[in-house]
Structure formats: C-alpha cells, structure tokens
Structure 1
Amino acid sequence: MTTPTRVAAGLLTSVLAVAGLSACSGDDGGGGSTKADSWSDAGAKAKQLLDDTSGIEVSLSTGDDPGTDYLSSASGTIVADPPAFEGTVAGRVSGFEASSIDVISVDGTLWINAPILGWTDQYQPADLCAPDPAKLLDPATGVATVLTSSTGVKAGKSERGGTDNKEIFHTYAGTATGDSIRAILPCAEGDEFEATYRLDDDGYLRTARLTGVFFKDSEPLTYTIDVTKYDVTKDISAPK
C-alpha cells in the first residue's frame, strides 16, 4: 500500500470510528417543547427524533493531540433512505498529516478519494474494523442506541448557545459504555466514555462531548460533535 493510500485508509478508519458516535447529537428541527424530567425520558425522545429524521448534517473536532494517529476533524451528511454518507475528514496517520479527504458510502460500497490515486473502493468497513457510515441512522443497529444505553446520566445546568446565543440548552452528563460503542465499533479501546449532552427545548440533542480512548495506543481525547441540521434530504451517488 502506498503512503498516500495508507493515510487515506487510516483516516477513513478514524472517521468511521468517531462517526459511529457522531450521530448521537442533533438538530435544528421541530419536536416537543419542554425539558424531560429524566434522562430516561430525554434520551428516549432524542433517539426517537433521530430515528425519524430523513438525514443529518454533522461536524466534529478535537483540540487534543493524543500523540498517535487520530482524526482531528470531520464533517458530512448522513441520509437514512436510501442509506448514504458523504463527507470530508482530516487528521494524522503514520506520522503524516492529511486534510480534505473525501469519503462517500452509497449502495453498500465505501469510496475514499485517496491522494494521488483518486477515488477507490478497495477498502471496505469490514476490512477497517469500522461501521459503514451510511447505516449509522438505522434505528435498530445504528448509533442512537448509544443514547439510551448511557448510564448514570444526570441533568445539569441550562446554558445559552446557538445563533447569537439566543437558545437555551439543557445539559446532561453521564457515561457512554464501552460495550454500547463497541456494538458499532468493535475496535474501540475504552471501557467507558465520559459524555455530556446538550438538548434544546424541542428535545433534540444538539451537541455531544465525548472523552475516552478512541484509538489504539493513544491518550484519551475529547471530541465535540455538533449536528447542525436535521431533516436533511440529499442525493448522494458514487463518484464517477
């Protein structure tokens, strides 16, 4: 495998690892109107809203450097029917920095735009110990189940955010279990991940902050994940 291809494939593994968690946050769409009394209620509602959406736009980033290969940022669109993903990733693999690596998953095939080589479908999720990002919105097997399996989640203080700081978000903090994460990412290293969730007044999860050991031989790091839009529709097709 050439170095450019190894970098692209390594970054793909990283983005799929964190994409497996990224859809746990969400929105700017409608829904209910009041804060749930407990995480049991709030998490179940957030999962249902995620299950019902046509698609999401999501971004993630970290200011940490774990001292090994890692994903530094990613953004993209996941649509539910038919399942598809399109996005861009950046990070470090085998000591090489890489940015603007395009990724598409559609019709059961994963494509990466490897430097020099261009688009290739020779690396599939099963080969990378990673989920297919196109299937992350599946209600039964996707990432929304991480929400309802989180443990020890307590309500925290409300805080302002959003456009011009005009929105009120309700915070919850607890633990995302390693088992729930490994159900979608078999190679996840940590047994527990510290989780902070921010919900808006309509019950949508707008931000998730997750801290733990995501990558082999790395220090813990924190990812901030934002879903900037819900109810997205987009035609995603294989590269030509």
Structure 2
Amino acid sequence: MRTARSTRSARTVRPANPARLAAGVLTGLVALGALTACSGDGGSGGDRPTGWKEAGAEAKKLLDDTSGVELELSTGDDPGVNYLSSARGTVVADPESFEGSVSGKVSGFSAADVPVISVDGKLWINYALLGGWTDQFNPKDLCAPDPATLLSPSSGVSGVLTSSTDMSEGKAERGGTDNKEVFRTYEGKASGDAIRAILPCADGDSFDATYRVDDKGYLRTARLTGVFFPGAKSMTYTIDVTKYDVTKDISAPE
C-alpha cells in the first residue's frame, strides 16, 4: 500500500454550485489528458522518422511505455463557459493515479490551484467549501473518465496521436531548457472521434493540431484548437510535458 500523503491546500473564490466546480475540474483534466504527449531525457538516438505516420507511432509507443509524466497546461482564451484555464500535475501509469492542481472558471467565478487526487478508482478534490478533501464526485457522472487512466495504452490518450490526419512537417521551433533545443513540428488535424473517446462531451468534429517532437522521438508540446466544451467558443490549449519516466507514490488523502 502506498503511504505518501498530500498536504496541499486550496485557494478558491466561492462559486455558486460545488458540483459544477467539480464537473468543470474533471472535464478540464480530461481535456488536458486528451492533448497530452510525453517527453524526457531517455530514448534512443540515431536517425529519427520524419513522416508523421512513423513519428506518431513512435511517440505513441514511448507514451504507452512511460512510467509517468509531469505536465503543464495553459490557455489564454475564454470560451464563454465553465473551463480549465491552467493545470499542472503528475500522471502515473502503474498503479493508475493522478495528483495535481487546477485553475479555471465556473458560473462566472474563478477557482485557483484546486488540489486533485485520483487513486484506487476514486477522485478526491480539496474544496474548501465542502470542508476540505472529498470523494463524493464520480467521474462517470461528470461526463469524464477517471484522470488516473489517461496513460492506459488501451483506453488512454495515446490513440489521439496516431489518429491525427492530414499531417505535414512544419517549421522547426526552439524550446526546452534555455530555449536551446530545436524541435520538429507537425501540423494537421486531430480527430474529434479520437478526442471524444477520452472526453465524451467534446463538440468539435476535428481539432487543429501542432505537435513538437524532440530528437529522441518524444512529443514535447501539443497545441490543439477547437471546441472542447458543449456550447463553447473555439479555444487553444498548449501543453508542455516537463518530465518523463516519472515514478511517484500517490495515495488518498487522510
């Protein structure tokens, strides 16, 4: 049994409805997972595939094989509905678990740095209005899968990569530590059906996609634009994966 305990606290502005905040947090987490790719210091060198069919397949395999990732998400857009504005956290593949914090807007109110843990099939949210940590929200009731399962090779997010179509190689971009690395970029369309396999409520038929790949074959950044939430305006999420091959003990809060 894993023994690590989370001691994070939440800073929130009281929204009108706690359940809607939880739904917004969950939906945003899944949108985050649907856009996620992995990066890291490991991997093989040598010649890298240049076409997306090969590069995407390699990136999927690396994502499926990773022990865990640390990631950050942000958007400068306001789609006009409940949405996730930023998030950061750790997803661990085995045992399936998630720990992180999210910020966003629900019913016109902002919520900042709300801690979230998903482990052992339960979602925990540290919501001050409900007196601290609570597990009363079921992801299935919120039109979202459990965020702890986002790295599952069979039902997680890696299928979005290989289902992307009309991909072409774009301009090289700089990034990484001190902006010293040069990444290949691929631009095209992410399938709405593939994203709905992760986020059932996504409205878009397709999403404009840009992936940045490092010289070891790992996706380092994903940028997707489209309608992620019902009744919302189109928006762009940028996801940076800051660490690969993460191992972390995550357990339910006391």
Same fold per superposition (TM over 0.5): yes
The one of 160, 168, 171 equivalent to 2:185 is 171
Q: Deviations over 1:96-119 (max 9, x none)?
A: 111111110001111111222111
Hey, what does 1:18 align to over in structure 2?
31
Query: Is 1:29 the equivalent of 2:41?
Result: yes
Q: How does 1:150-165 map to 2 (within 5 A)?
A: 150-165=164-179
Contact persistence 1:8–1:114 (CA under 8 A): no
Hey, what does 1:120 align to over in structure 2?
134
AA aligned opposite 1:236: I
AA aligned opposite 1:182: R
The one of 66, 73, 82 equivalent to 1:60 is 73
Distance 2:108 2:52 in 1: 41
SS in 2 for 1:98: strand
Q: How many residues align?
A: 238
Q: List 4+ stretches of structure 1 deviating above 3 A.
A: none
Contact persistence 1:161–1:167 (CA under 8 A): yes
* RMSD over aligned Cα atoms: 1.3
Query: Is 1:182 the equivalent of 2:196?
Result: yes
Hey, what does 2:244 align to over in structure 1?
230
Query: Is 1:111 the equivalent of 2:124?
Result: yes
Q: Deviations over 1:29-52 (max 9, x none)?
A: 211333312101000000101111
Moved more, 79-88 or 151-160: 151-160
TM-score when scaled to structure 2? 0.90
Contact persistence 1:85–1:133 (CA under 8 A): yes
TM-score when scaled to structure 1? 0.95
Distance 1:65 1:19 in 2: 16
Distance 1:67 1:152 in 2: 30
> Percent identity between the aligned chains?
63
Query: Is 1:80 the equivalent of 2:97?
Result: no
Structure 1 residue 141: Cα displacement: 1.0
Contact persistence 1:7–1:98 (CA under 8 A): no
Contact persistence 1:104–1:238 (CA under 8 A): yes
Distance 1:11 1:238 in 2: 21
Hey, what does 2:11 align to over in structure 1?
none
Which blocks of at least 5 consecutive residues in structure 1 are unaligned?
none
Hey, what does 1:45 align to over in structure 2?
58
Contact persistence 1:22–1:60 (CA under 8 A): no
SS in 1 for 2:246: coil
The one of 110, 124, 136 equivalent to 1:97 is 110
Which blocks of at least 5 consecutive residues in structure 2 are unaligned?
1-14
Distance 1:111 1:128 in 2: 14
Structure 1 residue 66: Cα displacement: 1.3
